[in-house]
Structure 1
Amino acid sequence: MQNAVILINAEKGQVKAVAERLADVEGISEVYSTCGRYDLVAIARTRDFESLAELVTERLNAVEGIRDTETLNAMQVHSRHDLETMFSLGW
């Protein structure tokens, strides 16, 4: 499994609409509105790196209202919750 944190800035006045659109994108498991440097944080969970690349470069580019993104690729799992989830999926 390949996980990533995607930091997102939306066009002015579009935060809620972008969040709702992102929640419907395959591969995005969670979307949070935030305060600070970024408007939204999305958690991506994909099968492999190629699926993550397709999500970031194609599916997110199709979401209207996104101004820019920064993707943080998860390298190593340190959360017990993620480990339990991974093993329950047969990984």
Structure 2
Amino acid sequence: MQTIFVNIKCELGKAYEVADQAVQTVEQVSEVHSTSGQYDLMLKCFLGDQDDIGHFVTDSIQTLPGVKDTFTIVAYKAFN
């Protein structure tokens, strides 16, 4: 299992719509948080070990209506 975080910059006034679409239509999305700063949303996603992160982000996240830009972070280990 691969964990990635995708920060999203949305078109003005579209953050809530993008968040709703991500939760409703992308099964790999676990959590969506609104954030302050350069990006509007942060998605936590779980992908299979063989899934291609680049294809997932470009095909499933960047194509959501209202998404202007993304920044992807690959997580290596979760500490509990």
TM-score range, shorter chain: 0.7 to 0.9
- Indicate if the aligned counterparts of 1:29 and 1:42 stay in contact, CA closer than 8 A: yes
Structure 1 unpaired stretches of 5+:
81-91
User: Which position in structure 2 is the counterpart of 1:67?
Assistant: 68
Q: Which has the higher contact order (CA 8 A, sep 6+)?
A: 2
- Superposed CA deviations along residues 25-70 of structure 1, whole A, max 9, x for unmatched, are 1211000011111100000111125243332121113200000000
User: Which position in structure 1 is the counterpart of 2:55?
Assistant: 54
What is the CA distance between 1:22 and its match in structure 2?
0.9
Q: Point out 4+ residue stretches in structure 1 off by more than 6 angstroms.
A: none
Question: Which structure is higher in strand share?
Answer: 2
What secondary structure is seen at the aligned counterpart in 1 of 2:9?
A: strand
User: Which position in structure 2 is the counterpart of 1:35?
Assistant: 36
What RMSD in Å do the two structures reach over aligned CA positions?
1.4
Structure 2 unpaired stretches of 5+:
none
Question: Which structure is higher in helix share?
Answer: 1
CA distance in 1, matches of 2:50, 2:10: 25
1:41 aligned partner, one-letter code: M
TM-score by length of 2: 0.87
CA distance in 2, matches of 1:67, 1:78: 29
Aligned residues: 79
Q: Highest Rg: 1 or 2?
A: 1
- Indicate if the aligned counterparts of 1:10 and 1:39 stay in contact, CA closer than 8 A: yes
TM-score by length of 1: 0.78
